[in-house]
Each structure stands twice: as C-alpha cells, then as structure tokens.
Structure 1
C-alpha cells in the first residue's frame, strides 16, 4: 500500500468520513487530484467495504477538454467496473437566470446540484470530493480577504453534511507525486492558469509570497484551521441547540421574539448566519452589516420591521414572532372543510385538530388549544374555514363582540393570519378559533354533562 493511501485510510478513520457498506459517489473532474482520489478509494475499497459510483460534469465553459476528460474517466471506470455518470450543464445560462453570482460561484452551485441529483438517483450515501490542503488554504485566504466569520474560515472541512473530503490533509505536491509514481491517468485543465479567476490568482501569486515568508506555510495554515475548527465546534453545538427552538411551516422559519432576544450576542449572530446560509440560493452567509441591522431592530421596541439579507430572503418581526422567509411572508391558505359527524379529526402540517364528544374537563382548559362547548351549539354541519378580516367573535368571558383580527394582533400572532381557521356551526356562529380563542357562545351550564371537546395538539 502506498504511503499516501495509508495516510488517507487513517484520515478517513480519524474523521469518520466513510462507513462500511456505504455507496460513495466520487466527483471526478479528470484532473490530478480527483483521479488520485478515485484511484486511492478504489485501492482502499476492500478495506473500507464501500461501493463506488463516479460522476463528472461539463460546465459548458470550455470548448476544448470536457469531452476528452469525460471519455478518459469513462474508460477508467469501465476497466474497474464502476458505474459512471456524465452530463453537460450550462453555467452561463444559470448565471443569466441568477444574477449576482461570479462564474466560480455559479459553477459550484450547478456542480453540486448535479452531484446531489446523481447521489439521490443512485442511492449513494455521501459525495467524495478531491479538495486537498492547497484548496483549503486558498479558500481560507479568499474568505478572510472578504471579511468572513468563523464558519467561513472552517467551511471547507473534512466532512460537511453529505460531502466528505478524504484528501483534505494532503498537499497538491504529494498528489502530483502519487499520480506520477502510480501512473494514474489525468488531464490538465488549462483554465487553472487563468489568473482572472480569484482562486487561481491566490494560488499562483499570493501563496508563493507567503511561502517565501514561511516555508512551512501549508503546515502552519493546517494547524490554524484545526485550532479554529475545535473552537467553532463548541459554538456550533450552541447554534444547533438554538435552532431547535425554531419551527417551520411552508418553508417559513419562525421563533418567538423573546427567545432571540435572550441569546447572547455572538450566538445570535452565528445563528442568523447559519439560517441565512441554509435558506439562501448560493449557500453564503449575510454580511455583518445586515446582521447588525437585524440585531439593532430586534433589540428595539419596534414591533413590525424587515431586514433584507438577500434580494429574495428576508427576516421580519411581526407581533411576538420573528420570521425568516423567501419572497413574501404568506403561509399557504388552508381550505374549507365541512364536518357532518363527530368525532372529527384532521391533520394540519405538524398539528392535529380534533372535535369529539366528551365529559367535562377541568384544570386543563385554556380556550386556545383545549376547550369545550355546550352540545346545543353544535348544530351540524360544522365548518372549518380560513379566517376572514371581517370575522367577529364573542370572546369567552366577555359580553360584546370583538374583531378576530384584533384579537390575533393583541396576542402577537398576526404573522400567522393566513394559517388561521374558524370553526362555525350550521347557523354561522363562530365557536372557536383554533390556537387563539373560544367563543362565549360555547359556555355550558356547570351541571351540563353533554359537551364537545375541541383540541389542537402537536402530532
């Protein structure tokens, strides 16, 4: 076993990158690094007990090279008996439809979309990419030059979701030595010498100067990465815990305003970065200026406000909640349902609404999520319908009517207006607004035992 293969095996084990019986999709461009990765994983395949699948994509950016590269990879895969998938996609067309992205950013997005489509279609568990230590250093320098946060510096990690990087510990020079000694077939990409690309400029101009200052620059940057990664891992646990208090409906993420205000500032900043990164089309976090604007508004006494993190991604406070959403803050409107008999039950996203006959309850009624109504008001058929801004109700314990929209606003829940349902009887009397309030019309005599129970609960 070649020493690089042995070290790769150790790196995979140390970072728990691959598990026995997994199907691994190997992203292969045809260059030295990806062909080396394919060869190494093929040789380690019996020891790792994995299956390999290979994918290659033509970005449509070069006239010469992609077809030849794809054919070379196909031949290697045929010789080894590995399934191979290739496709050409138009990155420039994607850029025209998604303004604001650089060629490198657009190519990355299109490439990973393709890889995940192949991964899902072929039931693969992870995608192995050939990023090495030189790539890591270039990425760190580029992101630091642009003023990134901690997550940005450690973004190119050994394992990130369904992406694994078995060669991240290894310098490009060692990969070049490996393919030479082992006669691994590869092809050079002429665009790697084009310094109009930021990454190439860093690799060809900036890194050599830094190595002149410190001949052990690569080793020093790897230590820097590991130190930051260890520290960020602690922060990341707090972020995941913070995110567990958020809920999602129809792609809109929301949480109570007081929960965010209760976070310490640094955690709040990192949590917002994580949310925006995951929800945005390019996967990048917002600028610090946008996060500071969000923080200032959050800590103010203003009730309704909006911060635009991206052209199509916003954060807003409405009532007692803060929402993160794309395009507009509108939940899908629920459809009307008629209830002809009891018991009745319906699932609404992550909730279950039930209407059933029952005995008198005590000590647990809140009028919002659990309530009762006198049987005489339950004239069938009942109707569950979307709330209307003209709707009025006599709130339980009151004698006069009140606009439901006002009640919702007072409870700090007006951001959920399009999700609200009204329960009314055959006479058109509103009996219950699930999750909001029960009508005084439902009041039953203390001696009454014929009741109907309303409940709205998590499934």
Structure 2
C-alpha cells in the first residue's frame, strides 16, 4: 500500500520534502494509517513537518472521549505533535443554524485551516472506498458531472494521499504495521444513508464486480479531466466578463454555455458549496441581468443593470 500512496502523492504533487502538514486524525483505521504513512515519510524527508489534529465533537459521549485519548496516547508514544479541539457540535450547529454533519465538517476544516496557516498543507484520510460511497450517494440524490467526480485528490491546500487505497488495503496495512485504531460504533448503524451504502449497497455491487471501487476511481479520474476543461473555460469566461469598476458583465456571462456558466458561479463561490437550486437561481439572474440570490454560508449574488456583483452573505440585504 505504501508504494501506491507514494505514487499518489507524486502524481498529484501533494507534498514537498519541506511541507508543513496538518493531518486530520479521528483515531479510526484510515486516519491512523495516514498519520503512520506521513510520519514514515520523514525518514526520507527529514524536513517534513507533521502535526496531528483531532476534533472531539462531543456527540458520542464516552466513546468520543475514548477516541481523543487514543489519539493522544499514540501521538505521545510516537513523538508526533498533536492539537486537539473539543467542541459541542450540537450546540454549535444550533448557533449556526446548520445540520450536525455540515456543522461538524465546517468546524473541522476551520480548525485545520487555522493550524495550517497560509503555507501549510491539510491531509485528510479519504479513501477509494469513501470516493465510491460518495459517488453512489450523489447518484441517489441526482447529480451532474461534478457529483460523479466524487472526492478530489487535491483541493486548494487539502490533499488526500489515501484516495487510491481501498478500506480493506488500509486495514491490512494497520494490521501489518501493528497500528492501533478505534472504531466509531455509529459506522455500523445502517440507519444512516452512507452506512447503508457501505454495509449493503457496495457489497452487492462487488458481487457483480469485485473491483467496483477501482472502476469508480477510474471513472472519477476521467470525469475530473473533463470537468477540468470546463472549469478552464469558466475561468476564461470570467476574465472576459470582468469589468474595470468591479463586477462582471451579465451579457458576456450569458454568452457562455450553461455548463460553463455554472462552473463560473462555482468559481466565484470559492470554498463554499452552493446547492444546485442556488446555482440555477444565480444563473437565472445572470440571464435576466437583474435580481438577487442569497446563498447561506457563501456569497450573495446581486445583478443590477446587467452587472453581477457578489457580497459576503448577510453583510447587506440583497434587493429582489
């Protein structure tokens, strides 16, 4: 497995010998294997800096505290710097008016970004199995090209060195290297959609094709290349539409094909993830040259007299 991970790191230029890496570590097999791989890489790259980051969401009581203690003990034993954030995500979600999953993700990445700073790299333990599950979940809800691409190996300063490795390979790696890990009991409950895909749907598909996860990985890679071409067109469209006094010409944007316009909107949104309905609403005001769309957690879009502008959400009221 280690050879496959190193090839992935090289292929996507995820790390350099002197990178400062913040590794998200939950204590599960995937993240413990990731931490072990990164720490092992320091034998050849002594300037590589690895910091483990653990978030206790306070959602699973004693089990969550057990996970935190497990990560603390392992990092202390291996001499790995560790940063821990303990936060009541249920309470935080109520404050932010977000679902538990969305809030947990937001809290984690805010913590990781704070630790990484401007020049650091964030490494997460997403696997090939996670990618296959994500694509299947997107299919159940209806999706487009972006959804079929699954989880990108690299996004901004976030890298996923295990993205070409299946969960079975990772568990075998942990056994081989005697890496201790904990199991989140909620991962075994089929009442959650992702768990149902993991526990019931994927095994059925693997009966048809034992290499189903690898097949999804190849498909996702191919579609990412196609999506990359459309994103490049979108960047060029935004460049042509940009106005000297700020904003973008709705007329110029409207000349782009819809898949390109939608990607241009995504590029303007940056790291946030607007829902499909918001993308459609923003596209409509671009075509009309007039109107406003408020995107929770992202930017608000305002078109007036044929000029599209963006402002941070809730900073000002968007006229309709």
Given the two structures, how large is their TM-score scaled by the length of structure 2?
0.89
* Structure 1 residue 327 corresponds to structure 2 residue 314: yes
Task: Please point out which of 202, 211, 219 is paired with 1:216.
Answer: 211
Name the CA shift for 1:299/1:26 in 2 (closer, same or farther; >3 Å).
Answer: closer
- Distance between the aligned counterparts of 1:296 and 1:261, measured in 2? 10
Superimposed CA distance per residue, residues 318-375 of structure 1 (whole angstroms, 9 cap, x where no aligned partner): 12311233236579xxxxxxxxxxxxxxxxxxxxxxxxxxxxxxxxxxxxxxxxxxxx
- In 2, the alpha carbon distance for the partners of 1:150 and 1:291 equals 14
TM-score normalised by the chain length of structure 1: 0.63
Q: Deviations over 1:165-210 (max 9, x none)?
A: 1110000001111111111111111111122322112111221222
1:115: Cα distance to partner? 1.3
Instruction: Tell me if 1:286 matches 2:284.
Output: no
Structure 1 residues 242-283: Cα deviation after superposition (integer angstroms, max 9, x where no partner): 3445769xxxx821222212322221122123334x37xxx3
For 1:134, which of 129, 133, 140 is the aligned residue? 129
Provide the C-alpha distance between the structure 2 equivalents of 1:155 and 1:167, rounded to a whole number of angstroms. 14
Match of 2:180 in 1: 185
What's 1:52 paired with?
Answer: 50
Aligned to 2:181, the other structure's residue is in SS state coil
Structure scoring higher RCO (CA < 8 A, sep ≥ 6) equals: 2
The match for 1:114 among 111, 134, 139 is: 111
Root-mean-square deviation over aligned CA pairs: 2.6
More strand by share: 1
Give ranges in structure 2 of 5+ residues lacking alignment: none
The Cα shift of 1:15 comes to 1.3
Task: Output one character per residue of 1:57-113: Cα deviation in whole Å (capped at 9) or x when no partner.
Answer: 1011011222222222222222332211112012111221233x4322221111111
Any runs of at least 4 consecutive aligned residues in structure 1 with deviations exceeding 6 A, and if so which? none
Change (3 A) 1:28 1:299: closer
Distance 1:176 1:82 in 2: 21
Q: Deviations over 1:3-61 (max 9, x none)?
A: x1122112111111101211111111111111111111111222244111111110110
Higher alpha-carbon Rg? 1
Partner of 1:75: 73
Quote the Cα distance in structure 1 between the aligned partners of 2:290 and 2:238.
22
Change (3 A) 1:20 1:298: same
Query: For residues 183 and 280 of structure 2, what CA distance do their matches in structure 1 show?
Result: 45
Aligned length: 315
Structure 1: give runs of 5+ residues left out of the alignment. 332-459
